[in-house]
Each structure stands twice: as C-alpha cells, then as structure tokens.
Amino acid sequence: MAKAITLLESTRADHRAQADALLTALLPHAGRSFRLGISGVPGVGKSTFIEALGLHLIGQGHRVAVLTIDPSSTVSGGSILGDKTRMEKLSVNERAYIRPSPSSGTLGGVAEKTREAMLVCEAAGYDVVIVETVGVGQSETAVAGMTDMFVLMQLPNAGDDLQAIKKGVMELADLVVINKADLDADAATRAQAQITSALRLFGLHGHPSHAHHDETIWHPQVIQLSALHGVGVDAFWLAVTQFRQLQTGNGRLDARRQHQALAWMWERIDAGLKQAFRQDPRVRELLPLLTAEVSQGRMAASTAARNLLEVQAQRT
Amino acid sequence: MAKAITLLESTRADHRAQADALLTALLPHAGRSFRLGISGVPGVGKSTFIEALGLHLIGQGHRVAVLTIDPSSTVSGGSILGDKTRMEKLSVNERAYIRPSPSSGTLGGVAEKTREAMLVCEAAGYDVVIVETVGVGQSETAVAGMTDMFVLMQLPNAGDDLQAIKKGVMELADLVVINKADLDADAATRAQAQITSALRLFGLHGHPSHAHHDETIWHPQVIQLSALHGVGVDAFWLAVTQFRQLQTGNGRLDARRQHQALAWMWERIDAGLKQAFRQDPRVRELLPLLTAEVSQGRMAASTAARNLLEVQAQRT
C-alpha cells in the first residue's frame, strides 16, 4: 500500500502513466469507506481526538486510515502535522494506517495526492478514512471537497474570547465539536449556544424556513466532548452514523461524491490551463508589463486579459 | 456617457477594439470616486435607501451614479432590479445617473460591463458610484470585488426568525445596515447585537486578538436606520466617510483596488482559457464520455483532467 501511494506521489512523467493505470484498476474497489474530514487550530486536540476515535472504531471492528493535508508542507516542505508519534497507540495498531502529508508541492498537488491515497486505502479495505488538516481556509476547503462529512473542532473559550473562526470555514462544517469541554463546562455550553445561533443566522443550520422542519435534511450540529478523557467519542460517532444514514437515504451522499469528483476534474483542468498559459513564452514576455499597467491603473484589467489571451492563441 | 457604455456593452468584435481604446483613454480620468457596493434580499428596501442616500449626497454637492448587477438578467434576460421608476426623485435629478443591469450574458460578462461602466461614470465626474445587487452569493462577490466598501442590508426580524444570511456573504460585509428599524425597535436592537456577535465569532470583526484594538484597522459595524423616514442616512454616510479615511490612511484602499484589478484580470483570463478549452473540437468530443466515467466512478477525476488537457495540447 505504501508503495502504491509512493508511486501516486511521484512527479516523474513515466510514473504518472503507471499511476493513472493503477488508479483506474483500483477504482472499482474504492469508495466503500466513510470519508471524514477533521479540522481545527493547533492545540484544539486533533491528534488526541483522532487517536481516541480511531481506537474506538477499531474496537467496533472498523479499519481506520488517517491521511493528512498539512498546509505548511506546501510552503516550506516541513511538516507540523502527520507526525506518527502524535498518535502512539493508533500508529502501532495493525488495523490502523497513518500517512503523513505529502511533503511538498502546491496545495492543489498535495490535495490530489491525498485524494488518490484515499482511494488506495479504500481499495485496501479501510472502511473509515479520516482526512485531517490544520486550517488556513484553503486546506479546509480542499478537505471538505474530498470527504463525506466535514467536522470543525473548537475550544470552549466563551464570549469575546471565543477564538474567531476563519472566514469561509464555518460554512463547510457538517458538525462542530467543542473539545476539552471538561476544562470549563459553562464556557463549553455557552460556546455551543453561540455557535448554534451563528450557524442559524448565517443560514448554515439547514436551509431557510420550511426546510428547517424537514427531517430528511441534515442540520449541522454542535456537540461537546473531551477527547483526552474519552468522553463523548461514542456520541460523536453516533452523530456521524446518523449523518451517514440520512445522507445515504436522501441520495445526498452519492450526489456529493459525484459533485466532488466533477468539481475536482475541473479544478485540475483549470490548474493545468493556467500553468500552460503562464509557461507560454509570449505570455511570459508580456505578463510582467501588463501586470504593472493594470496595477498602476493605466490599463483596464479586461483589456489586459484580452491581450494576453490573444498572444497565447496566436501560437502556431 | 450612455453611448460610451453602450459601446462597452456591445458584443461585436470590432466594437471590442474601440471599447478597449476608449477604456485606456478614460482610465487616467477614472478612479476618483468612492465605490460603494450595496446588497440585500428583495424587500429589504434597497431602492428606498439608495434614493434617500443619493439625494442626501447630492444635497452635499456630490454627483451620484447608480449601477446595478441583476443576477436574474444573467439567467432570463429579464430584470427585477434597475428599473428607474423605483427611484423616481433620484432618476430625474441632473446630478444623478442611474443605469440598469446589462440585460443578458453570464455573471462574469455582466460584471465586466458594470466595471467598465463604473470607469465611464468616474471619468464623467460622478464622485460616488453605487453598485447595487440582489443576492445570490456570486453576484455579491462580484460587487464586493469591484467596490471600495461593501454594505449588506438586513431586516430587523429577531431570534430564530432573523432571515438567514447566504453562505459566504457576511464575510464580504464592511458594514451591515439594519433597515426598517422603525418597525420594531427591540427587534432591530436584538438583530444588531446578534449580527455583531456573529461577526466577531466568525473572525470578521477585524482580525484576531491584538488587531482588535488596532484603531488603524476597520472593524465591520452594524448600524440601524429607517430609509423610508430618512432616519440614520447621515449616520450611515458618516460611517462610510470614517471607513474611507481609515482605508485611505492605512493604504488599504489603494491595495484593495490593485488587488481587485489583478484578481479581475486573472478571472477573465481563467474564463477565456476555459472557454477556449470547452470549444476545442477534440475536447468537445471527449468531454461527455470522460464526464460520465468520472461521475460513475470508473475514472479518477485527475486522470480525466490529464487526458483532456493532453488532447487539447496535441492540436497542431
């Protein structure tokens, strides 16, 4: 399995053709897991929670894979996540597989490798795949875009001290977990109420008006737990199971995966088109000049775009 | 001025070259206005507010242009906004210019025409340009992406009845206006408190921790007014003026415009690349098949993207 993932992660052109053949061969055996995305700021307790959850699931007979998208690796090639020693018990369990983030590349590239690694894990029989990230907005969008359910972890600080949630992240959440609820029960309860209210205000708690009472539609929930003491992990998995049953029953699970696959195809196409554009010799020659003209307000952005598209199209 | 805008809105290829020349000639005279984006659901009172604001500003010696992006026009060619009769007094005032939404095209195309019309208005001496939209998320993003300040209008319903704000829209708001506050003062005050709290929770009320107390950074505000009775319009403009001074002083106004211009250039490039891609004969032949393969889980999205990019690149 590690070999397959390493092949998929290779950037050599001849490996890419083999990797595509491998993917096509794997696909009929993939897709049978539940894909769970988990995000939260450093210190929220992601490792502790994932270890507790993983061991709980293994106890129930599941096989659990943990993949990681570490946005810091896409910048520095370093890694703040994905260190196996963070999950000591889980990493030595034979029914668990933990793979750190690909160690470099653009976020799009790292996300692609992680999507492909997920398929390998599924084909190898892991029936719960957890994809973890630490947030910079874009990495959370990438994780939500490849999982069946996206979970946002929060700390129970209350009132004005409640840590701000990054722009655009709350709208991705199917479930919000307030971890370390044992530290301050009152604060956790206030945070739960505040986030529930904000979810409703921002139209994220289900859909407007009538849909509020439609029991076939999932409304994002906010739950408390204490991963360190193993309190609430079973309630968490119960919520996940309810979500999964609901989304399977109303067809949204399949629709979400289909939508994700097509969105991903177009994202890679867009990235490829843009890369080819930027590498075109005529574009490379003209781009710095037009960028400066537009920045300094001497040329309209739309005029510059048309000029650049024309020079690229003129290639013979 | 109407002729210039009509030329810019033309889709004829020969007009496009003239339009680009016109834009380049106008640019040195553009950019001196304050660009104000205003959005809200139908019934929130946008026309009443914009008329009251426009007349207030004209009374202070300003010249006011009102442009509209009507997302319904991009679908049906119809128009639910931009009807001049909605602003009877403002539309006959010689210091005001009201232009309805371009009547058809993609949202990207309509946004482009509106951006260009804005430059014409500025070159003609209008020093406040209001760009109005009714929300479907994407049109609000387009308006926020071409204005100096984005205002979201809300109604004062309280508690659970507070109308849900569309995903991703709140994070665009520099200022939230609760209109029709006279209808229910208590509800307006509760709505103001709720939205203020949610803005803070979602990290939109300025930036985390230390920046909270940095007075050179704008924190989105929530204010009440009653446009119908003209109450609060002066306070609204005072907030806009404070925002403008702050953003000018800390350099963020210029930075925002520069960022918007470059983002717009790349958005039009992306749209052009994608259009050329979709029109490529080999892509058109292969795309339906690969879309079906990806949808049905028989081919990985990344494999399909690579195949499609390769067939387009193979053109001779």
Give A37-93 pLDDT, tens digit per residue: 999 988 899 999 999 999 999 999 999 999 999 877 655 544 555 455 678 899 999
Q: What is the pLDDT of residue A171?
A: 83
Cross-strand pairs, B131:
B37, B67
Question: Out of A135-149, B194-208, B256-270, which region has the weakest mean confidence (pLDDT)?
Answer: B194-208
Cβ contacts of A278 within 8 Å, gap of 6 or more: A284, A287
**Any CB–CB contact under 8 A between A203 and chain B?**
yes
Q: What is the pLDDT of residue B80?
A: 52
The residue among A74, A69, A80, A77 whose CA lies nearest residue A39 is A69
Interface of A with B in 237-296 (CB under 8 A): 257-258, 261-262, 264-266, 268-270, 272-274, 276-277, 290-291, 294-295
ipTM of the shown complex = 0.86
Contact across the interface for A262 and B208, Cβ inside 8 Å: no
Instruction: List Cα–Cα distances, B157 to B116, B145, B161, in angstroms.
Output: 37, 29, 6
Beta strands in chain A (DSSP E): 34-39, 64-69, 96-99, 128-133, 149-154, 175-178, 221-224
Express each pLDDT in A221-247 by its tens digit: 999 999 999 899 999 999 999 999 999
What strands, in cross-sheet order, belong to the sheet with B149-154? B96-99, B64-69, B128-133, B34-39, B149-154, B175-178, B221-224
Express each pLDDT in B286-299 by its tens digit: 999 999 999 998 99
| Greatest pairwise CA separation for chain B in angstroms | 69
For residues B209-230, average pLDDT: 79
Q: What is the pLDDT of residue A84?
A: 52
Task: Evaluate the CA torsion angle B255, B260, B261, B267 in order and state its sign.
Answer: positive
Residue A77 burial (CB count, 10 A)? 10
Whether the Cβ atoms of residue A87 and residue A31 lie closer than 8 Å to each other: no
Contact across the interface for A198 and B203, Cβ inside 8 Å: no
Cβ contacts of B265 within 8 Å, gap of 6 or more: A290, A291, A294, A301, A302, A304, A305
Question: Out of A98-112, B32-46, B177-191, B292-306, which region has the weakest mean confidence (pLDDT)?
Answer: A98-112
Residue spans of alpha helices (H) in B202-251: 233-249
> Which residues of chain B does A272 touch, with a Cβ-Cβ cutoff of 8 Å?
305-306, 309
Residue boundaries of the structural domains of chain B: 31-250, 280-315
- Minimum Cα–Cα distance from B296: chain A residue: A258
Contact across the interface for A295 and B262, Cβ inside 8 Å: yes
CATH 3.40.50.300, applies to A31-250? yes
Interface of A with B in 123-182 (CB under 8 A): 160, 162-168, 170-171
For the stretch B172-175, contacts whose Cβ atoms lie closer than 8 Å and that sit 24 or more positions apart, written own/partner, are: B172/B140, B172/B141, B172/B144, B173/B199, B173/B204, B173/B220, B174/B149, B174/B150, B174/B218, B174/B220, B174/B243, B175/B149, B175/B150, B175/B151, B175/B220, B175/B221, B175/B222, B175/B223, B175/B236, B175/B239, B175/B240, B175/B243
Angle, helix A13-26 to helix B301-313, in steps of 10 degrees: 130
